[in-house]
Chains A and B, each alone.
Chain A
Amino acid sequence: MSMKEIRKLTALQLAEKIKKKEVGVEEAAKATLEQIHQVETEVHSYVTLDEAGALRQAAEIQEKINSGELDSPLAGVPVAVKDNLCTKGMLTTCSSKILGNFVPTYTAEAVLNLQKAGAVVLGKTNMDEFAMGSTTETSAFGVTRNPWNRNHVPGGSSGGSCAAVAAQECFYALGSDTGGSIRQPSAFCGVTGLKPTYGTVSRYGLVAYGSSLDQIGPVAKDVADCAAVLEAISSYDKKDSTSLNRADINFTSALNGDVKGMKIGIPRDYLGEGLNQEVRESVLGAAKTLESLGAIVEEFDLSLVEYAIPAYYVIACAEASSNLARFDGVKYGYRSKEYEGLHQMYKKSRSEGFGPEVKRRVMLGSFVLSSGYYDAYYLKALRTKALIKQAFDQAFETYDVILGPTAPTTAPEIGKSLSDPLKMYLGDIYTVAVNLAGLPAMSLPCGMDKKGLPIGLQLIGDCFQEKKILQAAYAYEQNRR
C-alpha cells in the first residue's frame, strides 16, 4: 500500500492490516509523519510532536504484535493526544504559557490504557488555553486552521485533535469535553467525536478545567473507530473517585445498524432562533434518514434549554478558578522574571502566564464563589443543573436518543469570535446541557454547507446509554447520502 492509501484507512482498518502484516507499524507511523510534514505548517494541529519517540514505540509495538503479546483491536495505530492530558516525559502545556515548560512524571490513565492497547503516541495537540474557548484561538501557541478551509477555525477546545484527524495527521485522537469541547470541533472538522457518561473514562492525569463536567473522549474518522477507542480508554480507576465501575463497556457490540422502533426525539428549542438554515436542513435530513430506517422520530419540548449556558458558565468557571489556582510559579511552570516578594511573584506570574480568556473565566469563577454571591450564583446554578438533569430524565422516559445539531453554525472564520465572548458562549447552547446532566453524546458529520464546511449531527443518550447513540450513529453513517 502507498503511504497515501494507508492514511485513508480508518483506525480499525489499519489495525487489521497491521495484524495481517500487510502494513507495518513503523510504516503507518511514517505515513502519518509524512502527512504531518506536509500540512502541519498550514494546519498546526500539534503543539508537541515526538517523531523519534513515535518510531521507537512503533518498533516496540511491532515486536509485541509479532510475538503475539499484543492482540488488541487498535494495536499499532498512531494517535494524537490533546495537550491537557499528562504524558510522562513529554511536554504537557494545555496550550498555555504558564505550563510552557511542564513535563509530567506520570501519564494520564486514559493514555496509559491506549498505550496498553498498543497505540503509538505521535504528540500533543493544540487546544484552547486550558480548554477555555470554542475556536482553539485562545491557545498561547498559535491558532489551528480548519483542514476543510484554512481561513476558518477548527472549533474548540479540542480543535487540534479534531483537525489532526480530519487532516489525516493521525488515525484517531483523544479530546476532552467540558461543555462541548469534543463535539463542537468534531462537527466543525467533519469527524466523529464522543463525550462519554461522566465517570466512564478516568480523569486521572487530565488537567482539570471544570472537574464535575470534564470527560475524556475519542475523536475518530467514523463511528466504529469511535466505539473501539471508547472501549479502549474506559476503565474503572481507583485514582479517580468519580470513576465508575461499568460492566457494559463493550461498545463495539452496538454497531449492528438496526434502528427499527428506536424512539428519537428532537427538542424544538434546538431548532429555533439562532440556528443556521443550512445546519437545520442537514440535521433534519439526517433525522429523515433514520426515520426511513425504521426509527420513530418526533419533536418535543425539552424545558430549561435557555438556562443551560448561564448555569454552565457559572459552575465551570467556579471550579476553574480553584483548579487553576495551583499555577502560581512556585512549584512548576512559568514564573515571572522580575518580582519583589511573594505576592508580586504570584500576581506577575499569573498575569503574564495566563491569556485573556482564562483570566476572564478565573475572575468570573472567583466572583460567583465569593462571600455574599455564592447563593445567588453558584448555588442557583447547581439547582439549575439538577433541574436540567430532571428535564433530560423525563425526556428519556419517552425517547431512546435525542437528536439535534451540535452547533448552531458551521466553523466561523479565524479572528471573528474572540472579540465578542458572549456571542461565542451562546454557540455552546446545544452542547453544555449534556455536561451538566453528565450524559453521553456524540457528533458525527451530516452534510456540508455552501462554503464547503462540515455540519455536525448531535445524538444524546441517557446515562450509560452510549450504545444506543452509537447504534443510531452507525445506522445513519451506513446510510448517509
Chain B
Amino acid sequence: MGKEYETVIGLEVHVELATKTKIFCGCPTAFGGAPNTHTCPVCTGMPGSLPVLNRRVVEYAVAVGLATNCTITRNCKFDRKNYFYPDNPQNYQISQLYLPICRDGGVEIEVCGGTKTIGIHEIHMEEDAGKLIHDEWGDYSLVDYNRSGVPLIEIVSEPDMRSAEEVVAYLEKLRMVIQYLGASDCKLNEGSMRADVNLSVRETGTGELGTRTEMKNLNSFKAIARAIEHEKNRQIDLLEAGEQVVQETRRWDDVKEYSYAMRSKEDAQDYRYFPEPDLVPLCISEEWIAEIRSRQPELRTEKMARYRQEYGLPEYDTKIITSSKHLADLFEAATALCGKPKKVSNWLMGETMRLLKEQGMEPEEIRFSPENLAKLISLTEEGSINGTVAKEVFEKIFHEDIDPDGYVKEHGLKTVNDEGKLRAAIAQAIKENPKSVEDYHNGKEKAIGFLVGQTMKLMKGKANPGMVNQILRELL
C-alpha cells in the first residue's frame, strides 16, 4: 500500500498594468514599436537619470488590493533589487521588499461544488525588464528596452492551493478581477500575466511543508496544469525512491512536457536589497484610498446579481455572460439597444460560444458590435427573418460584423408570408412526395416534418415556418 501525498502550491503572479506610460518615466508602454524607440535616459539606465513614480500605477495596485481584500500599506517604500543582467539597464530593479503596497488579502474560488479562500500574502509594485534577442548565428545578443520600466504588480499567494484545478481557478479569478478593474488585459500568451508556481509535496496528514521548487515559463492555463501534474509526480517519485527534493528553480518546456533545473538554492543570488534612495516614501492617504474605492467598477459577483434582478436572467446565464468582461460589456450594450436581455443572452451563450469554440478563440477576441447583434434580434422579433436565416446571418456578423438589415435586403432573405406563394410551394412538395403523404395519412406524424423541410427547400429557407405548417395540414 503506497503512501498518500498532498500537493502544496503557492503562486507568484506578475501582471503588467495597463497604464499609458511607464512606471518611472513618461515613455509609452505600447506593445510593439521598433526596438528602443519607447525609451529615454530613465528607462535605459543613463547616468544621472532619476525615477519618478507614476501615480496611476499606485492607483491600479491599490484597486487590485481592495478587490482582493488586502490591507493597503499606508506608508510604503520602494527597494532596489541588485543583480547583473543586460535586460536590466541599471543592473538593479526597483521593486518593493520591506513594505509592499498591499498585504494579507485573499480571494474565493469555486472548487468541486464548494468555495475555498486562497490567501494573498502581498502585492508589490515593480518595473519590468527589457528583452534580449539572441542572434542564433552571430556571436552577440541585442537588447530592446521598450519593455524596460513597464509597470508590474506581483501578487504573491499563500501556499493554499492543493491541485492544478485550484491553481487554474485561482488564476482565472485573479484574471477576472483585474480585467474587470481595467488594470490589465492579463494575457498569459502575450506575457501581460505571468505565473510562477511554487510546489512541494508532503505525506497527507503531516504538518510541515516539504522542500519546494519554483517553476517558470508557464504560458497558458493548460501548460500550468500539465507542469503541476508533472512536477507533483516527479517529487513523489523522488521521495518514493528515498531521494530528496532539491530546492531549485525549474523551467517548463511545454512542447516536450518536461522541466529542467535552471538554478539551485546554492547559486541563488544575493540581491542586496536596500531602500531606493531616489524615491521618497509613498504615503497613501485614507482619502486617496476612498477615492480609488469609489471609482472601483462593478465586479463580477455584483454584475451577476444585477443581471438576475434587473434583467431576470437565470443564474446559469449570468455566470456564462460575466465570465469575461468583454462578453458582459457586449451583453449590456446590445440589451440597451434592443431591450431583449434574454434574447441577447441566448445568442451569446449559444451561437457565440459555439463559434468561439470552433475558431479556438477567447471571448476577448470577439470583434462584432452590439449594434449589429441588436439589429439581428429586432429582425427576428418582428418576424422579418426566420430562425434558420438568423443563424446564417449571425455567422456573418460574428466573422465580419456585417449590418444585418443591409445583408438581409441584399440577399433577399426576408421571410415569405405571401399565402399564394406558400400554397404553390406546398402543393409542389405534396405532389413530389406521395410516399410521405401516405405515411402521414397512416398516422406517421413525423412525415409532416419532412414535408415542411421540402417546402422550405423549395422556398430557399425563407418561408414563414408557422404558416407552412398550418397550410400543409390544411391541404393534407
Contacts and interface: CB of A to CB of B under 8 A. Distances in A.
Interface of A: 84-86, 92, 94, 99, 102, 104-106, 108, 203-208, 210-212, 238-242, 318-319, 321-322, 325-328, 330-332, 342, 346, 366, 369-371, 374, 378
A369 B53 contact: no
Interface in B138-185: 143
B420 interface: no
A319 to B, nearest CB: 6
Contact of A241 (B44, B53, B273): B53
Nearest to B83: A325
B147 to A, nearest CB: 15
A241 B24 CA distance: 10
A239 B52 contact: yes
B312 interface: no
Contacts of A346: 84
A102 B41 CA distance: 13
Given A322-B82, A326-B89, A328-B91, A241 B48 contact: no
A267 B278 CA distance: 32
Nearest to A207: B47
A105 B50 CA distance: 15
Contact of B47 (A86, A319, A321, A366): A86
Contacts of B49: 106, 204-205
19 contacts: A84-B48, A86-B47, A92-B47, A92-B48, A102-B47, A104-B41, A106-B41, A204-B49, A210-B277, A240-B50, A241-B53, A241-B278, A241-B280, A318-B274, A319-B277, A322-B274, A342-B86, A371-B270, A378-B274
Given A330-B86, A346-B84, A369-B274, A203 B92 contact: no
Given A241-B52, A322-B92, A104 B46 contact: yes
Nearest to B78: A241
B50 A322 contact: no
A322 to B, nearest CB: 5
B279 interface: yes
Interface of B: 41, 44-53, 80, 82, 84, 86, 89-92, 143, 270, 272-274, 277-280
Given A207-B48, A238-B52, A330 B272 contact: no
A104 B143 contact: no
Which of A102, A106, A321, A325: most chain B CB closer than 10 A?
A325
B274 A326 contact: no
A99 B48 contact: no
Nearest to A102: B47
A48 to B, nearest CB: 15
Contacts of A322: 80, 82, 92, 272, 274
Which of B41, B82, B272, B278: most chain A CB closer than 10 A?
B272
Contacts of B89: 326, 330-331
A241 B279 contact: yes
Given A325-B92, A369-B272, A371-B270, 5 more contacts: A106-B46, A211-B278, A322-B272, A342-B86, A378-B274
B52 A208 contact: no
B224 to A, nearest CB: 30
A212 B274 CA distance: 12
A325 B277 CA distance: 15
B91 A326 contact: yes
Contacts of A99: 47
B272 A242 contact: no
A239 B51 CA distance: 7
Contacts of B272: 321-322, 366, 369-371, 374
Nearest to B282: A241
A369 B92 CA distance: 13
A203 B50 CA distance: 8
Contacts of B280: 241-242
Contacts of A242: 277-278, 280
What are the nearest 8 A-B pairs in CB distance?
A325-B91, A211-B277, A369-B272, A212-B277, A207-B47, A205-B48, A86-B48, A326-B45
A242 to B, nearest CB: 6
Given A325-B82, A328-B91, A370-B270, A206 B48 contact: yes
B142 to A, nearest CB: 11
Contacts of A321: 82, 272
Nearest to A199: B280
Given A105-B41, A326-B89, A241 B80 contact: no
Give chain B's interface secondary structure class: loop
A209 to B, nearest CB: 11
Nearest to B24: A241
A84 B49 CA distance: 12
Nearest to B26: A239
Given A238-B52, A241-B280, A374-B274, A326 B86 contact: no
Contact of A326 (B47, B273, B277): B47
A330 B143 contact: yes
A378 B82 CA distance: 15
A461 to B, nearest CB: 22
Nearest to A202: B50
Contacts of B273: 369, 374
A325 B84 contact: yes
A203 B273 CA distance: 23
Contacts of B143: 330
Given A241-B53, A322-B80, A108 B92 contact: no
Contacts of B82: 321-322, 325, 369
A239 B44 CA distance: 15
Contacts of A370: 270, 272
A397 to B, nearest CB: 26
A104 B48 contact: yes
Contacts of A206: 48
Contacts of B91: 325-326, 328
Contacts of B278: 208, 211, 241-242
Contacts of A371: 270, 272
Contacts of A327: 47
A241 B270 contact: no
A369 B269 CA distance: 13
A207 B272 CA distance: 21
A97 to B, nearest CB: 14
A176 to B, nearest CB: 11
Which of B47, B49, B82, B143: most chain A CB closer than 10 A?
B47
A203 B272 CA distance: 24
Contacts of A203: 48, 50
Contacts of B45: 326, 331
A298 B50 CA distance: 42
Contacts of B277: 210-212, 242, 319
A108 B48 contact: yes
A414 B109 CA distance: 72
B350 to A, nearest CB: 54
Contacts of A94: 47
Contacts of A240: 50, 52
B90 A326 contact: yes
A308 to B, nearest CB: 18
A331 B44 contact: yes
A207 B48 CA distance: 4
Nearest to B80: A322
Contacts of B51: 241
B47 to A, nearest CB: 4
B76 to A, nearest CB: 14
Nearest to A366: B272
Contacts of A211: 277-278
A129 to B, nearest CB: 13
Nearest to A342: B86
A375 B84 CA distance: 23
Contacts of A205: 48-49
Contact of A325 (B44, B90, B270): B90
Nearest to A330: B86
Contacts of A328: 84, 86, 91
Which of B48, B51, B89: most chain A CB closer than 10 A?
B48
A318 B46 CA distance: 20
Which of A206, A326, A342, A366: most chain B CB closer than 10 A?
A326
